[in-house]
Amino acid sequence: MPIIRVALNVHVDTLFDYQAVDAHPQDVGLRVNVPFGKKLLTGIIVAVNSDTRIAVEKLKTAQIIFRDIAPLPTALLDLFQFCSDYYHHPLGMVIMNGLPGKLRGNKPVKLSAPSNDHQFHLTTTGKQVGLTSIPARQRIARRLLTELNQSDGLTSEAAKLISPTAIKLLKAWVELGWVSAMAIPATSTLKPSNKPALTQEQEKAVNAITSEINQFNTWLLHGITGSGKTEVYLHIIEQALALDKQTLVLIPEINLTPQLEAIFRARFPATHLVSLHSGLNDTQRLLGWLQAQQGIARIILGTRLAVFTPLPNLGLVIVDEEQDGSFKQQDGLRYSARDLAIFRARQANIPVVLGTATPSLESYYNALNGRYRSLRLQSRAVENAALPLIQCIDIRTHKTQEGLSEPLTQALVRCLAKKHQSLIFINRRGYAPVLLCKSCAWSATCQRCSSRLVVHLRDKKLCCHHCGHQENFPRACPQCGNQDIAPFGQGTQRIEDTLAARFPEARILRIDRDSIRRKNAWQNILQTIHAQEVDILVGTQLLAKGHDFPNLSLVGILNSDVSLYSTDFRASERLFAQLMQVAGRAGRAAVAGYVLIQTEFPDHPLYRALQQHDYDALAKSLLAERKTAGFPPYVYQALLRAEAHNIELVLDFLAQAAKLAQPLPTVEIFDPVPAPMLRLKGLERAHLLVQSSSRRQLQEFLAQWYKQINSLPTHKIRWVIDVDPLEF
């Protein structure tokens, strides 16, 4: 009896053998339902063998092999295996993490019966049906089967040309599981939008990439804000489509999806595009995933998880805003979608384009040493559009009232008089970050996290922005009974109230995670801005990147100095990228742009580089600092993270893990330390840092160490190895 090896979604780094009467070698990549302990679980078949190391009498039998959809392709299984090996995470959990929710359950996928606008494909079961099994008198059925075997898919229209009864027969085959049917989107009646003339820099970038479109290269498209990186994407996607190839476009946040999707649909109205992101329900996500798998979708636009989409004709990968930390998963499987996208492009021997205005220092370093191919866009794409003038307001001299200085207030007055839009950027939602008692200095803290509760005055709530805990606003100080408790500091809500009081005639719109929770709120907000129905925007980092507001003239930046105090060695890099992005929202068209930064350190090198729009100067300075300190990209790091209800348990576990380690000469192990935020969501956390100047030797060490850690008793501990960590 055939033996199948199955990857299951369990926290055990092994594959499980089962007997399967009806298994065939071509079943690799199919879902299978198997008994596991007292439960039934669905996993993925990764091998079909004739032997096993387990005694045959101990083997359980698989319940059912699902043949409702095509198997996962070999290239995708290889990507999952690489991901499992590199990030030291169980293969079964990696695979199931990458599948749509509906494919993780214990039931077959039920697709709706086909109508007249479908494309039909043979399933694995259908491919096993030979012509000899269909009687010679059933000529239509035999011809249909022959056509399906000889083509990549048969449309409804093509089937009707064979016979008017062909559709009925195909529907019956869908029920039998021989054929899968996928809806073909109606051809758009829209005409493709006009292509603007490329600048010389854009044309040079497009020609460089398209001249090597059939081979692997990592292109770093480093363009200032407003330089037209999206137009470069559109031209190279057009080339990929001309070669009948699919394009995967990864973006860091769901909020960037509507704008990019609209641009792509306008340029390629007859091309099927799917969006894959967390805002979709399970059915929508599965449908898009299947359309990508069957090659119907030609452009796949998605957030982090879309890197695992099966794409049989992949010809191009684009990672927009490559420096964004959102590409790194921060819980469970801690993978980097950007890095996996590069691996996937190398695997398929196709180009990958990393687009950014402020490259991550790792990518910038790779471009300097020739590992990545660098392309620069150093001027704005719109004629007469110039980079904004950036000035610092010294708030030691110009004192602020309710968070706003007089120079910034006067700039808002001038902007309103010209009927231009302005943006006040403060990366802190809520009304105020602290509720403080002026008598005894008590402040409201979260019981589950090592953080203060944020004041949400309109809801009369105190909220933790880390775990989501909420409690009612107290009437008096719970420590001394004093009723003189007050919010301290500013958040988006408080700045919105201040602006409303200062400018009662202005139309003010706040944009943060609280204001976009309702369905379609984000799309409605964008329409309002573009329709010139708002004068002053107050927003967080949601507004910092990717958005094009032609009438936006002024950007005011508040509270950015906080990041200068950070102990995180990446804080300066992140702050510069964020400020460069938000400054880039101003002056993108005919309207001149101005940026005012309220700061106590107007002479700080970071602000100087920002005023000169000189990323290279700051990047080279930061690289020199990192080389001296021995930080990435000059070393490669991994964190062993652990958490439990008691910090002593965590530190003891990490100490035991450190004792088990047998480091190579180039691998350095540091002592366990509590996490900067000790308590999060009720658990106390610590970590242990490992680093090496050799990525290969670090991986060799981690592979061995991972097996040793698995031998430790961990029933009260949760742990994970975080390779290439971004947060400490």
**Interval 24-83: pLDDT, tens:** 899 999 999 999 999 999 999 999 998 888 888 889 999 999 988 889 999 999 999 999
Query: In the predicted model, what is the mean pLDDT of the chain?
Result: 90
Terminal Cα-to-Cα distance of the chain (whole angstroms): 50
Domain 389-432+489-619: give its CATH superfamily: P-loop containing nucleotide triphosphate hydrolases (3.40.50.300)
pLDDT grade for 519, boundaries at 50, 70 and 90: low
Position 306 pLDDT exceeds 60 = yes
Task: Give the residue, 592 or 352, on which the prediction is more confident.
Answer: 352
pTM: 0.88
pLDDT in tens, 568-609: 899 999 999 999 988 888 876 678 889 999 999 999 999 999
- In CATH terms, are 200-377 and 389-432+489-619 the same topology? yes
Cα–Cα distance between 53 and 62 in angstroms, integer? 17
Position 114 pLDDT exceeds 60 = no
Domain assignments of the chain as residue spans, ordered by start: 3-103, 118-183, 200-377, 389-432+489-619, 636-723
Cα–Cα distance between 174 and 196 in angstroms, integer? 46
Domain boundaries 3-103, corresponding CATH code: 3.40.1440.60
pLDDT in tens, 688-714: 999 999 999 999 999 999 999 999 888
CA-wise closest residue to 719 among 660, 662, 633, 632: 660
Cα–Cα distance between 109 and 194 in angstroms, integer? 41
Supply angle C-alpha 649, 653, 655, rounded to 5: 115
Domain boundaries 200-377, corresponding CATH code: 3.40.50.300
Instruction: Specify the pLDDT at position 184.
Output: 66
pLDDT grade for 188, boundaries at 50, 70 and 90: low
Domain 636-723 class in CATH: alpha beta
Cα–Cα distance between 451 and 465 in angstroms, integer? 9
Please state, for a pLDDT cut of 70, what percent of the chain lies above it: 96
Position 153 pLDDT exceeds 80 = no
What's the token pair of residue 583? 């400054």
Instruction: Specify the pLDDT at position 548.
Output: 73
CA-wise closest residue to 229 among 375, 80, 123, 66: 375
Q: What is the mean pLDDT of residues 178-188?
A: 68
Supply angle C-alpha 162, 166, 168, rounded to 5: 170
Tally of CA atoms within 13 A in the half-sphere of 328 that contains its CB = 12
pLDDT in tens, 317-348: 999 999 999 999 998 999 999 999 999 999 99
Position 116 pLDDT exceeds 80 = no
What is the Cα 688 distance to its own chain's centre? Answer: 26
pLDDT grade for 122, boundaries at 50, 70 and 90: confident
Please give the full DSSP string across 292-352, using - where no structure is assigned: HHTT--SEEEESGGGGG---TTEEEEEEETTT-GGGB--SSS--BHHHHHHHHHHHHT-EE
Residue with tokens 């530190």: 651
